[in-house]
Structure 1
Amino acid sequence: MRPSAQATTSNDGTRIAYYDYAPDAAEAFPRDDCNGWQRDDLPVLVCVHGYPDNARLWEPVARELAGAFRVVTYDVRGAGESGQPRERSAYHLDRLEDDFRAVLEAVSPEQPVHLLAHDWGSIQAWHFVTSERMRGRIESFVSISGPSLDHAGFFIRRHRPVRDVIRQLLHSWYIYYFHLPWLPENGWKRGWAHRVFARLERSADGLPSATGERSLGDYVNGLNLYRENVFPRMIRPGERTTDVPVLAVSPENDVFVSTPLQTDIARWAPNLTVKVVRGGHWMPRNDPGLVARLVLEHTRELAR
């Protein structure tokens, strides 16, 4: 199914493109009752992509979940068809939260939504679910391969055994590279970084990379996500908690985010379920059926 492409405007005037997979009743619903919900009152599932992806990452998952949810995806600022601010400060987590709020106001102004996020989308989403401004607006959260930066800060400082911390620091080599001046941008613009990244994706997940689905802006603009947020937040992590029901999904072959970092978080998310599953970092693209099943299981459990 093809989504309807629309746009909204964030607080600072940035255009945010979003894609609404509201199903056509005649095609998507052979019966009135689907998964316990009436077809005219589907719950909304908002999906947030990571770096260097755009909203197209979620297309296979949206097709799997059509009929159970009204799936909404959006291009994070700097990616896809959304606005591309040049200032690094425009990519602060609070600005990303403003974008998410703008999407919610456009698609579900009165009812809370379910949230599914991957990679940097999950990093953002942790900021959303632990925000007082978002209290009551998120009904559930499924996080794949993306920790809270606050949680990561405490993990690096306090986690035991120390070998888990060392392993994660080695996994995070690319973060230090992305903070270098000039070199990362030049690598994307000249093309050699794309070749390296494609090989890394193939080695990580054993499948062809998705570099052809991304634009140069997706790669270059998204560097500001790291530069604006990672080190300041990890140096001074906040004690941000959430009562939102969270499913933390850790692919067992994730080469970027270790399982302990993703799952040792009950202190901040007491309503937590953890699942370690087969697969690599780019689960939404490479195993959309599994992602859809995990979302359905999590939300069905809440509905009981």
Structure 2
Amino acid sequence: MPLAGGRERRVRTGGVELCVAEWGDPATQPTVVLVHGYPDSKEVWSEVAGRLTERFHVVLYDVRGHGGSTAPRPLRGGFTLEKLTDDFLAVVDAVSPDRPVHLVGHDWGSVQAWEFTTVERTRGRIASFTSMSGPSLDHFGHWIKKRVSRPTPRKVGQLLGQGAKSWYVYLLHTPALPELAWRGPLGKQWPKILRRLEKVPAGGYPTSSLPRDAANGAWLYRDNIRPRLGRPRDDAYAHAPVQLITPLGDAYLSERLYDELEQWAPQLVRRTLP
């Protein structure tokens, strides 16, 4: 579904085609790239994009396997952080080849954007990174190891608390069950659930591709969670300024996950919002 007033293009990368939408002038305005989470598509950013277009060249893209972007074949192994980084670089090379971009990620968009901001091959391509509700899996892995290796009642409580919040992650690792749920009753009911719980108005979001997108996107978890939490990188330092936006009352992520973030992001600004 084209977003109002935007220009759409296709970007090929690693056997998939990404659907990219743009507003504004890349020659005269700084570029901001907004990366959506799970189980979303680029349309989740439509209202935010509308507020930014007067000041920025705004870029949205559907993550591989979501929205107007094609899915890798096979799905297994097609959603690794390395391949998602390939996609990001292909997009920014297409939309802003000569200048670094301001990067914004929410949920899984933020998880993958932490990868973009901490790997060497993206150095110089990112002017800043704004993270919302999605930690680095490497930082999360070290957070867990620190609490397991030196347990105290407080640290054990933090682990148990986050474990309870992550209940859905375990379900997404179950073979076939998430796909059946999303392509069946859950996918049909999701728009009503969003209207009731998140006060999302009926209309252009979520798009009709949601059941397929959510089924495909289960591989974001399967391809990355266990490998990275079990073997987190030791060099996952941000090479761009980071703005961390922490929403109070997040149902899925504890604020404690970010307690030691300064050691990984030397140029860190924190903002806590209701």
Establish whether residue 174 from structure 1 lines up as the match of residue 168 from structure 2.
Answer: yes
- Correspondence for 2:9: 6
Alpha-carbon deviations, 1:231-282, whole Å to 9, x = none? 110001112111311011111021011112145311111111111111xxxx
- Does the 8 Å CA contact 2:187/2:210 hold for their aligned counterparts? no
Partners of 1:257 and 1:220 lie apart in 2 by: 22
Q: Name which of 131, 134, 137 aligns with 2:122.
A: 134
Q: Residues 202 and 248 (structure 1 numbering): CA distance in 2 closer, same or farther, change over 3 Å?
A: farther
Give the secondary structure class of the aligned counterpart of 2:54.
coil
Give the 5 Å matches for 1:1-304. 1-10=4-13, 12-22=14-24, 41-87=28-74, 88-159=76-147, 161-192=155-186, 194-195=188-189, 199=193, 202-203=196-197, 205=198, 207=200, 210-212=205-207, 214-239=209-234, 240-262=236-258, 264-278=260-274
| TM-score, length of structure 2 as denominator length | 0.89
Partners of 1:74 and 1:242 lie apart in 2 by: 23
- Does the 8 Å CA contact 1:194/1:211 hold for their aligned counterparts? no
CA RMSD, aligned part only?
2.0
- Does the 8 Å CA contact 2:34/2:60 hold for their aligned counterparts? yes
| TM-score, length of structure 1 as denominator length | 0.80
Alpha-carbon deviations, 1:214-247, whole Å to 9, x = none? 5222111000100000011000111211131101
- Does the 8 Å CA contact 1:202/1:208 hold for their aligned counterparts? no
Amino acid of the structure 1 residue aligned with 2:20: Y
- Does the 8 Å CA contact 2:183/2:212 hold for their aligned counterparts? no
Aligned length: 261
Give the gaps of 5 or more residues in structure 1.
24-38, 279-304
Partners of 2:22 and 2:233 lie apart in 1 by: 34
- Does the 8 Å CA contact 1:168/1:258 hold for their aligned counterparts? yes
Partners of 2:96 and 2:190 lie apart in 1 by: 40
Alpha-carbon deviations, 1:180-222, whole Å to 9, x = none? 011111111122465378547844x455685456522211100
Partners of 1:64 and 1:5 lie apart in 2 by: 19
Partners of 2:11 and 2:39 lie apart in 1 by: 22
Partners of 1:276 and 1:162 lie apart in 2 by: 25
Give the secondary structure class of the aligned counterpart of 2:78.
helix
Partners of 1:214 and 1:6 lie apart in 2 by: 19
Partners of 2:116 and 2:259 lie apart in 1 by: 18
- Does the 8 Å CA contact 2:7/2:23 hold for their aligned counterparts? yes
Amino acid of the structure 2 residue aligned with 1:15: E
Give the secondary structure class of the aligned counterpart of 2:124.
coil
Amino acid of the structure 1 residue aligned with 2:158: D
Amino acid of the structure 2 residue aligned with 1:178: L
Partners of 1:126 and 1:198 lie apart in 2 by: 31
User: Bigger shift: 72-81 or 40-49?
Assistant: 40-49
